[in-house]
């Protein structure tokens, strides 16, 4: 995968100088405050003031400066994604094709298209179920920083296993396949522990919570907003992910022109750099300490809500809100609303409100598995499709890099032109609407892929059974599919990351983020259902069904959640 909109908003010429990504922070002032009695997130600097109620409701909101310490984490994420995509981008060819077969695409294991697709789906599944473990360890025991370091060590071991077992002697003597399975398991475990914590940790580096007015050097005043700043941070974060993912351009060329072990060695060495960069910031990061057994506490709270609501109904007591409507069952879990408060209750009313917020975010995520099902086609079936087309002198698996290249180019356009332009016109596209648009774009991408596959099957000389050969169709026809996938990511995937962080209470950010990442695991599970039609001559059917599912789920999603945008403008 590659993730938000760094909204610059309504700024005049020269205004952006005060909002540059590299601008320095006065760290001491940030922690001590610049006004009497200020807390770490409640202070003013020179040329700043609190807004009036009217200003807060009418002024266009802009992003604050991104703290330099956040960029250390972003740089580390760039290195990690460089490693991940540099390795994972090779798996389809590595597994599918034979080693040094004349006239064939590069390969090593010769296990065929279905096995390659199945193992690719397993790797995706494993990488996105392990974040649950990473989140539990971070939120309950170690904290995000230590958890990331521990899992980074595992990740590096997995990279070394993959590199050492891909040498020619290992491939020829049958050691490459078990080495691949072992490395997939270890790398997936390391990836999960990192992914559930690194994105919440980068957002944690911005500590100011109250909106404030800042006077720029040109005398203009702007309203600086935390939510827009978090979008900015995630936008840089997602941009770095996509720059890092371009590593597969280099690794696929090395695979094609040299051999497999140096192709895997380069991302392994980059991961050593990743650990070093992350370690550099150890004394600068804002570290949110672990808060205890959140999952067990949440489970007890939910069970108590069910039990207390039933008891209240039996006694004829019904809770109503300020609007006179009946309260949800979870409201009965608040100690202040319980008929009899058990001694075992370890939460307060605020915890129940936070849990409700987390559950609300998680409901939105229920539709993402189909999105990731579509996204996963890019690393397996679209790679296989390119292998059946004319790619000239470049390997077929290099085509997937069109996706991050488009993202790298378009994220700044959305950030600096499209979103600010809409805000100046008074149009605020809420997160649910953005996700809906992303879902529709992904459906279009899959429908287009089905059309291209039909063209491939309708063209000679091999038609519907090209095997390891290619028909006379240019792989350039694939470009729009990757562009639509990338556009879908800008609207859906980036917004999903933003939503997971902003809607999660402070004590549950890693857990909620891991649940969002888990939806990718759901996509891999769905992909297993399509494994029987992920081969020739059934790929048209595969792409068509996936496109139809995504389109249908997009409209169901919007019908269920469009009202949420009223509260997220």
**pLDDT for the residue 292:** 66
User: Last residue of some domain: 356, 381, 396?
Assistant: 356
Check whether 33 has a pLDDT greater than 50.
no
Verify that 407 and 306 share a domain, yes or no: no
User: Last residue of some domain: 356, 371, 388?
Assistant: 356
Verify that 396 and 434 share a domain, yes or no: yes
> What is the pLDDT confidence band of residue 343, given thresholds at 50, 70 and 90?
low
**pLDDT for the residue 31:** 38
Q: Bridge partners of 390?
A: 474
Which DSSP helix (H) or strand (E) runs through 82? helix 68-88
Verify that 214 and 99 share a domain, yes or no: yes
> What is the pLDDT confidence band of residue 41, given thresholds at 50, 70 and 90?
low
**pLDDT for the residue 567:** 65
Is 17 domain-assigned? no
Q: Bridge partners of 221?
A: 215
DSSP secondary-structure letter at 50?
P
Is 53 domain-assigned? no
Verify that 266 and 376 share a domain, yes or no: yes
pLDDT above 90 covers a percentage of the chain that reads: 33
User: Domain range spanning residue 336?
Assistant: 294-356
Q: Bridge partners of 510?
A: none
Verify that 377 and 365 share a domain, yes or no: yes
Separation CA 530–CA 121 (nearest Å): 10
Verify that 321 and 197 share a domain, yes or no: no
Verify that 428 and 328 share a domain, yes or no: no
Count of domains forming the chain = 2
User: Last residue of some domain: 308, 325, 356?
Assistant: 356
Separation CA 60–CA 299 (nearest Å): 40
Rounded average pLDDT over 473-491: 93
Separation CA 232–CA 456 (nearest Å): 41
Is 60 domain-assigned? no
**pLDDT for the residue 2:** 42
Check whether 569 has a pLDDT greater than 80.
no
Rounded average pLDDT over 549-563: 94
Rounded average pLDDT over 158-186: 95
Could you report the per-residue pLDDT of 178-207, keeping only the tens digit for each? Answer: 999 999 999 999 998 898 889 889 988 988
Q: Which residues contact 509 (CB under 8 A, 6 or more apart)?
A: 139, 200, 203, 204, 288, 500, 501
**pLDDT for the residue 354:** 83
Q: Which residues contact 241 (CB under 8 A, 6 or more apart)?
A: 1, 2, 3, 77, 78, 81
Is 219 domain-assigned? yes
Verify that 412 and 330 share a domain, yes or no: no
> What is the pLDDT confidence band of residue 463, given thresholds at 50, 70 and 90?
confident
Is 98 domain-assigned? yes
Is 39 domain-assigned? no
Is 11 domain-assigned? no
Separation CA 21–CA 443 (nearest Å): 34
What are the start-end ranges of the E strands in 88-143? none
Instruction: Give the domain CATH number at 233.
Output: 1.20.1250.20
More confident residue, 238 or 322: 238
Verify that 346 and 363 share a domain, yes or no: no
- Of the listed ranges 83-92, 251-260, 286-295, 426-435, the least confidently predicted one is 286-295
> What is the pLDDT confidence band of residue 536, given thresholds at 50, 70 and 90?
confident
**pLDDT for the residue 462:** 86
Could you report the per-residue pLDDT of 508-521, keeping only the tens digit for each? Answer: 777 787 788 888 88
Handedness of CA 431, 436, 437, 439 (dihedral sign): positive
Q: Give per-residue burial for 205-220: e unless 16+ CB within 10 Å, then b.
A: bbebeebbbbebeeee
Verify that 118 and 226 share a domain, yes or no: yes
Is 8 domain-assigned? no
DSSP assignments along 524-559, one per residue = HHHHHHTGGGSSTT-HHHHHHHHHHHHHHHHHHHHH
Q: Give per-residue burial for 516-544: e unless 16+ CB within 10 Å, then b.
A: bbbbbbbbbbbbeebeebbebeebbebbb
**pLDDT for the residue 20:** 35
**pLDDT for the residue 532:** 83
Cα–Cα distances in angstroms (integers) from residue 147 to residues 207, 395, 512, in the given order: 21, 37, 16
Check whether 166 has a pLDDT greater than 80.
yes
Separation CA 93–CA 12 (nearest Å): 50
Verify that 347 and 362 share a domain, yes or no: no
DSSP secondary-structure letter at 426?
T
Verify that 253 and 333 share a domain, yes or no: no
């Amino acid at each position: 995968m590659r993730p938000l909109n760094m909204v610059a908003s309504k700024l005049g010429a020269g205004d952006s100088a005060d909002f540059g990504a590299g601008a320095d922070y006065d760290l001491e002032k940030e922690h001590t405050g610049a006004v009497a009695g200020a807390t770490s997130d409640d202070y003013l600097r020179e040329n700043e003031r609190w807004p009036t109620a009217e200003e807060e409701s009418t002024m266009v909101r802009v992003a604050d400066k991104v703290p330099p310490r956040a960029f250390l984490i972003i740089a580390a994420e760039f290195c990690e994604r460089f490693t991940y995509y540099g390795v994972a981008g090779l798996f389809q060819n590595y597994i599918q094709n034979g080693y040094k077969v004349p006239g064939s695409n590069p390969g090593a294991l010769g296990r065929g298209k279905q096995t390659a697709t199945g193992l690719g789906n397993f790797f995706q599944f494993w990488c996105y179920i392990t974040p649950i473990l990473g989140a539990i360890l971070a939120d309950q025991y170690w904290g995000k920083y230590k958890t990331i370091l521990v899992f980074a060590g595992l990740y590096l071991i997995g990279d070394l296993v993959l590199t050492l077992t891909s040498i020619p002697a290992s491939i020829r003597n049958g050691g490459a396949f078990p080495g691949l399975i072992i490395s997939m398991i270890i790398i997936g475990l390391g990836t999960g522990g990192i992914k559930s914590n690194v994105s919440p940790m980068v957002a944690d580096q911005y500590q100011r919570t109250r909106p404030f007015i800042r006077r720029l050097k040109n005398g203009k005043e702007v309203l600086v907003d935390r939510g827009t700043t978090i979008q900015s941070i995630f936008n840089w974060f997602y941009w770095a992910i996509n720059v890092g993912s371009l590593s597969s351009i280099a690794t696929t060329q090395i695979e094609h022109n040299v051999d497999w072990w140096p192709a895997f060695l380069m991302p392994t060495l980059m991961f050593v750099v990743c650990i070093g960069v992350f370690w550099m910031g150890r004394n600068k990061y804002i570290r949110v300490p672990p808060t205890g057994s959140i999952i067990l506490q949440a489970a007890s709270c939910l069970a108590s809500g069910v039990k207390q609501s039933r008891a209240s109904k039996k006694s004829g007591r019904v809770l109503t809100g300020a609007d006179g409507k009946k309260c949800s069952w979870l409201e009965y879990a608040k100690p202040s609303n319980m008929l009899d408060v058990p001694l075992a209750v370890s939460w307060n009313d605020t915890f129940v409100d936070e849990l409700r917020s987390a559950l609300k975010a998680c409901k939105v995520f229920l539709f993402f598995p189909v999105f990731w099902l579509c996204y996963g086609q890019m690393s397996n079936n679209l790679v296989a499709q390119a292998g059946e087309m004319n790619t000239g002198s470049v390997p077929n698996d290099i085509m997937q890099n069109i996706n991050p290249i488009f993202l790298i180019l378009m994220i700044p356009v959305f950030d600096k032109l499209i979103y600010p332009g809409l805000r100046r016109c008074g149009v605020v596209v809420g997160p649910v609407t953005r996700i809906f648009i992303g879902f529709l774009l992904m459906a279009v991408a899959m429908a287009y892929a089905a059309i291209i596959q039909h063209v491939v099957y309708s063209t000679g000389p091999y038609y519907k059974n090209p095997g390891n050969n290619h028909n006379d169709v240019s792989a350039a026809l694939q470009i729009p599919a990757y562009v639509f996938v990338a556009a879908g990511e800008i609207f859906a995937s980036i917004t999903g990351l933003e939503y997971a962080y902003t809607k999660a209470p402070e004590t549950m950010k890693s857990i909620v983020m891991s649940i969002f990442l888990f939806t990718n695991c759901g996509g891999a599970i769905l992909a297993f259902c399509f494994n029987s039609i992920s081969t020739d001559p059934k790929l048209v059917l595969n792409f068509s069904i996936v496109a139809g599912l995504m389109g249908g789920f997009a409209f169901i999603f919007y019908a269920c959640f469009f009202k949420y945008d009223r509260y997220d403008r």
